[in-house]
């Protein structure tokens, strides 16, 4: 399978070099920014294309490594050419293949979503870290198993997503990655009201975050859980809620703590959690 890339950003660079290093033929790159496409082609020892239809003609599969908002417009441009039998793929975590490629069946092509659970931070180095990464794929065509086999041969773990689960899948990824940033920022903001500078607050939290993250990844979140929710300590949590400066922050704390309290209840089924449940449900701060 010869793979062509439309778009030459961090994901395009990284995936192209990853495929090429693994022996998967990379046809080349097309981009609205020719300089980037030329650089990516050189980086992957492939060809620079200045015409999208030529890249489509020479490739069995086209990977659209462009921003989410550009995926469908690029596909619609591709659909003006002869793409019957081609595989049209995107890397969005949020969009399904059906959403990205409307009426693709009418073109004779097949659409797939191929999403690496991986942060592409450096276009020249990230390909080295992709072996061992987790890929989730979905689509309605006959080649899903082929993509799974190819990606697994390159050293990745692959999961084919069931139909109708893409939004929940992406929400899970966002919670584990993006929403954690908001919780850490809330911690920093609170420490600053206690006299910490931003730098000092981050230094103070670093060992706590690193240790807890390591335990979560090694043992799972339930076993790593510590603190007042794990102990069923309603008095301390009430003090926390009362100390927060806004209703929005109390709502966030309460919502997350309800999840923690449920985890703790399953971990300690004989514990009386009525006081904590009432506090978190009704919001009766001390």
**Average confidence score pLDDT of the chain:** 95
The confidence score (pLDDT) of residue 273 equals 86
> At which residue do the structure tokens 């293949």 appear?
97
The confidence score (pLDDT) of residue 141 equals 85
Instruction: From 128, 146, 162, give the residue that closes a domain.
Output: 162
Inter-residue contact 283 to 255 (CB < 8 Å): no
Q: 131 with 265, same domain? A: no
d(Cα 86, Cα 114) in Å, to the nearest integer?
A: 15
Instruction: Provide, rounded to the nearest whole percent, the portion of the chain with pLDDT above 90.
Output: 92
Q: 43 with 184, same domain? A: no
The confidence score (pLDDT) of residue 249 equals 95
Q: 153 with 185, same domain? A: no
State the average pLDDT over residues 233-239. 94
Q: 101 with 157, same domain? A: yes
Q: In the chain, how many domains are there?
A: 2
Contacts of residue 99, defined as CB under 8 A and 6 or more positions apart, other chains included, come to 72
Other Cβ atoms within 10 Å of 249 Cβ, number? 15
Q: 174 with 151, same domain? A: no
Please say if the pLDDT value at position 285 is more than 60.
no
Please say if the pLDDT value at position 136 is more than 60.
yes
State the average pLDDT over residues 163-167. 93
The confidence score (pLDDT) of residue 282 equals 65
d(Cα 140, Cα 151) in Å, to the nearest integer?
A: 18
Instruction: From 135, 162, 189, give the residue that closes a domain.
Output: 162
Q: 141 with 8, same domain? A: yes
Other Cβ atoms within 10 Å of 45 Cβ, number? 12
Q: 271 with 208, same domain? A: yes
Two tokens at 275?
A: 């006081």
What confidence tens digit (pLDDT) does each residue in 24-78 have? Answer: 999 999 999 999 999 999 999 999 999 999 999 999 999 999 999 999 999 999 9
The confidence score (pLDDT) of residue 286 equals 43
Instruction: From 162, 177, 203, give the residue that closes a domain.
Output: 162
DSSP E strand boundaries for the chain: 3-6, 26-30, 47-48, 61-64, 87-90, 110-116, 134-139, 157-160
What confidence tens digit (pLDDT) does each residue in 201-211 have? Answer: 999 999 999 99
Q: Which domain holds residue 77?
A: 3-162
User: Between 247-267 and 180-192, two packed helices, what is the crossing angle to 10 degrees?
Assistant: 120
Nearest to 60 by CA among 130, 141, 135: 141
Q: 120 with 64, same domain? A: yes
Q: 20 with 157, same domain? A: yes
CATH code where residue 46 lies: 3.40.50.720
d(Cα 91, Cα 86) in Å, to the nearest integer?
A: 17
Q: 7 with 139, same domain? A: yes
Please say if the pLDDT value at position 283 is more than 80.
no
Residue 161: DSSP 8-state: P
Between the two ends of the chain, the Cα-to-Cα distance in Å is: 64
The confidence score (pLDDT) of residue 140 equals 85
> Distance of CA 231 to CAs 215, 225, 258, 264, Å?
18, 10, 13, 8
Q: 245 with 141, same domain? A: no
Two tokens at 117?
A: 């659970």
Q: 175 with 157, same domain? A: no
Please say if the pLDDT value at position 144 is more than 50.
yes
CATH code where residue 185 lies: 1.10.1040
């Amino acid at each position: 399978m010869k793979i062509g890339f439309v778009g030459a950003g961090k994901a395009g660079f990284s995936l192209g070099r990853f495929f090429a290093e693994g022996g998967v033929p990379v046809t080349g790159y097309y981009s609205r920014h020719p300089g980037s496409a030329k650089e990516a082609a050189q980086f992957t020892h492939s060809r620079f294309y200045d015409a999208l239809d030529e890249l489509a003609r020479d490739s069995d599969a086209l990977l659209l490594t462009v921003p989410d908002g550009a995926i469908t417009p690029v596909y619609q441009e591709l659909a003006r050419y002869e793409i019957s039998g081609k595989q049209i793929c995107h890397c969005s975590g949020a969009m399904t293949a059906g959403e990205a490629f409307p009426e693709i069946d009418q073109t004779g092509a097949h659409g797939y979503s191929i999403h690496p659970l991986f942060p592409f931070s450096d276009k020249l180095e990230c390909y080295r870290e992709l072996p061992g990464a987790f890929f989730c794929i979905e689509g309605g065509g006959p080649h899903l198993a082929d993509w799974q086999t190819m990606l697994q041969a390159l050293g990745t773990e692959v999961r084919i997503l069931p139909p109708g689960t893409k939004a929940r899948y992406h929400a899970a990824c966002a919670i584990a990655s993006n929403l954690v940033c908001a919780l850490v920022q809330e911690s920093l903001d609170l420490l600053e009201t206690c006299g910490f500078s931003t730098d000092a607050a981050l230094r103070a939290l670093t060992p706590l975050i690193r240790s807890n993250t390591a335990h979560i990844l090694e043992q799972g979140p339930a076993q790593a859980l510590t603190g007042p929710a794990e102990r069923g300590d309603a008095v301390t949590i009430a003090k926390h809620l009362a100390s927060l400066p806004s209703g929005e922050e109390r709502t966030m704390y309460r919502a997350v703590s309800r999840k923690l309290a449920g985890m703790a209840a399953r971990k300690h089924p004989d514990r009386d959690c009525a006081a904590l449940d009432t506090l978190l449900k009704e919001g009766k701060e001390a």
